[in-house]
């Protein structure tokens, strides 16, 4: 409880500093919502119901449902991830990881809780609205187990995304690269926001087993569709999250053991 209260203090301190400029925060929040809605507009224009009625049999409402599903996990990930993108530059090359090591707290949690992207809450709201809006269009009726699955799979998806980028950040302990490989991998998240069968077998394999972004939205979303053949992968989502978390934790621990500071 003491450790949790410390991390809570991390968050409260950041929140107070962020809300010191309230209008700037709300402007950023609105901008995040606008950008999110622009992505939805692309799908609406792509699948217009006449010229392109579906994507290989997946209707516009189904695609939008999956897209909204991805926003939940992505919002959770984006809230915690700012320092992962710049970890190699800020913490390893500039030597700020020395400060982290001096504190008697988990090093990874310190890095994650030193900065937040609170504007991502806007994407979360849009995603939840889109799920229920398209769900109503598809004739879905949500029960208690459906809400539970939405919560469990949404958190699992956030863990998968965070674990992948923790693994990438841990590479900075071994290869001091200011640019890193996080940006191109981040772009792969967009592939996981669409029905997996529309891609070729190579892309499907990558999204399943290399960077398992298909487990972030597509597979767990199939719980709500009457499409057979996805049951195993759908309910394996929490298992995949546990595997990714374990691999990321091992990679991070090993990377910390190899950290040598800047020498200055």
pLDDT in tens, 159-179: 999 999 999 999 988 887 655
Whether residue 14 is contained in a domain is answered as: yes
Element holding 66 (H helix, E strand) = helix 60-80
Could you tell me which residues come within 8 angstroms of residue 218 by beta carbon, excluding any fewer than 6 positions away?
A: 66, 192, 193, 194, 195, 196
**pLDDT tops 80 at residue 50:** no
Whether residue 263 is contained in a domain is answered as: no
pLDDT of amino acid 145: 95
pLDDT of amino acid 148: 97
Whether residue 60 is contained in a domain is answered as: yes
Average pLDDT over residues 178-198: 82
Whether residue 226 is contained in a domain is answered as: yes
Residue 116: name the closest of 240, 190, 18 by CA. 18
pLDDT of amino acid 26: 85
Residue 52 DSSP SS3: coil
**Span 74-107, pLDDT tens digits:** 999 999 888 888 888 888 888 889 999 998 889 9
Average pLDDT over residues 237-256: 96
Q: Please tell me the total count of domains within the chain.
A: 1
Whether residue 66 is contained in a domain is answered as: yes
pLDDT of amino acid 253: 96
What is the residue range of 43's domain? 2-257
pLDDT of amino acid 179: 56
| Cβ(185)–Cβ(164) below 8 Å | yes
User: pLDDT averaged over the chain?
Assistant: 88
Average pLDDT over residues 58-74: 92
Whether residue 125 is contained in a domain is answered as: yes
Whether residue 129 is contained in a domain is answered as: yes
**Span 101-135, pLDDT tens digits:** 998 889 999 999 888 888 888 889 999 999 999 99
Question: Model's pTM, two decimal places?
Answer: 0.90
| Cβ(239)–Cβ(258) below 8 Å | no
Instruction: Count CB-CB contacts under 10 A for residue 38.
Output: 9
Whether residue 264 is contained in a domain is answered as: no
Q: What percent of the chain has pLDDT over 90?
A: 50
Q: Which of 7-11, 219-223, 253-257 has the lowest mean pLDDT?
A: 7-11
């Amino acid at each position: 409880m003491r450790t949790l209260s410390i991390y809570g203090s991390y968050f409260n301190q950041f929140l107070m500093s962020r809300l010191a400029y309230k209008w700037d925060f709300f402007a950023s929040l609105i901008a995040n919502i606008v950008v999110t809605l622009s992505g939805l507009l692309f799908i609406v224009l792509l699948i217009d119901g006449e010229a392109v009625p579906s994507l290989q049999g997946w209707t516009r409402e189904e695609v939008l449902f999956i897209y909204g599903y991805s926003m939940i996990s992505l919002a959770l990930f984006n809230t915690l991830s700012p320092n992962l993108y710049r970890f190699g530059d800020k913490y390893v090359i500039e030597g700020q990881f020395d400060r982290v090591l001096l504190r008697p707290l988990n090093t990874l949690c310190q890095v994650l809780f030193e900065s937040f992207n609170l504007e991502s809450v806007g994407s979360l709201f849009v995603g939840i609205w889109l799920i229920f809006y398209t769900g109503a269009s598809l004739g879905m009726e949500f029960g208690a187990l459906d809400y539970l699955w939405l919560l469990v799979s949404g958190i699992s998806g956030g863990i998968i995304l965070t674990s992948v980028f923790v693994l990438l950040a841990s590479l900075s302990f071994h290869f001091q690269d200011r640019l890193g490989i996080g940006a191109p991998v981040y772009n792969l998240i967009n592939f996981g926001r669409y029905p997996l069968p529309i891609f070729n077998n190579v892309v499907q394999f990558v999204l399943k087993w290399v960077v398992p972004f298909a487990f972030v939205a597509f597979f767990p979303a199939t719980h709500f569709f009457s499409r057979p053949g996805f049951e195993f992968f759908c309910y394996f989502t929490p298992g995949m999250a546990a595997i990714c978390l374990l691999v990321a934790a091992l990679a991070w621990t090993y990377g910390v053991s190899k950290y040598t500071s800047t020498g200055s």
